[in-house]
Amino acid sequence: MLRDFLNFVSNPKERLGGGIKRKGNFVFITGMLMASYIEDYCRSVSEISGINARTVSVRNTFYGDSATVSGLLTGKDIQSMLYDKAPGKRNGTGAFHMPEYSEKPWG
């Protein structure tokens, strides 16, 4: 999975080219394990004009600190980390991005 992610996010300027459909502020939510990789990606993406990306790494209080993957994050853990980190707080535009496997309705 990590290799797939690294291949997918390598060189975002080249990958996105001029086809950026949505500019603004973006917050990428992740577990502790992938935080440094997502932070690197956010730095690269933020070099593109009109995009400000940042990472929020969420500590798992439900299962404990040994659960570091985003797939085991609960809504309560995510909500507590995002309380004051809304992406469009300053200018009203933006989005949160979560790993698809942490978006289960029962999670």
Instruction: Look at residue 27 and tell me if it is in a domain.
Output: yes
Q: State how many domains the chain has.
A: 1
Instruction: Look at residue 17 and tell me if it is in a domain.
Output: no
Instruction: Look at residue 18 and tell me if it is in a domain.
Output: no
Domain of 45 in residue numbering reads as: 2-12+23-102
Instruction: Look at residue 107 and tell me if it is in a domain.
Output: no
64's enclosing H/E stretch is none
Count CB-CB contacts under 10 A for residue 60.
Answer: 19
Q: What is the pLDDT along the chain (107 residues), one digit of tens a residue?
A: 678 877 877 777 776 666 666 778 888 889 999 899 989 988 888 887 788 888 889 999 999 999 998 888 888 888 887 766 665 555 445 666 666 655 454 44
Instruction: Look at residue 34 and tell me if it is in a domain.
Output: yes
Q: What is the pLDDT of residues 4-19, one digit of tens each?
A: 877 877 777 776 666 6
Alpha-carbon distance 21 to 71, whole Å?
A: 28
